[in-house]
Amino acid sequence: MRTTILIAALLMIAAGGVRAAPARQVHYAGIHPVPALEGGGICHILGPHVHVYPADKLQYREHDGEYVFVGDPVAYGWDGPHYAYKGHHPIDVEVIVGDDEPDVEWCYLDGPHYHAFAPAEGPDFQFAGGAYFYVGKPPKAYLDARPAMVKINAVYRPIVYARPTVTVAAPTGWIGANVEVVTVRPKVVTPVRAIGPTIWVDLGVVAPAVIVHDHRHRHRHHKHKKFRHWHDGDDD
Q: What is the pLDDT of residues 30-72, one digit of tens each?
A: 999 999 999 999 999 999 999 999 999 999 999 999 999 999 9
Percent of the chain scored above 90 by pLDDT? 58
CA separation for the pair 157, 212 (Å, rounded)? 25
Cβ neighbour number for residue 12 with a 10 Å cutoff? 11
Mean pLDDT, the chain, as a whole number?
A: 78
Q: Quick check: 93 and 105 in contact, CB under 8 A?
A: yes
Q: Where are the beta strands (DSSP E) in 150-190?
A: 179-183
* Parallel/antiparallel/unpaired status of strands 83-86 and 131-134: parallel
State whether residue 32 is helix, strand or coil. Answer: strand
69-97: per-residue pLDDT in tens?
999 999 999 999 999 999 999 999 987 88
Is this structure's pTM higher than 0.75? no
Residue 210, pLDDT > 50, answer: no
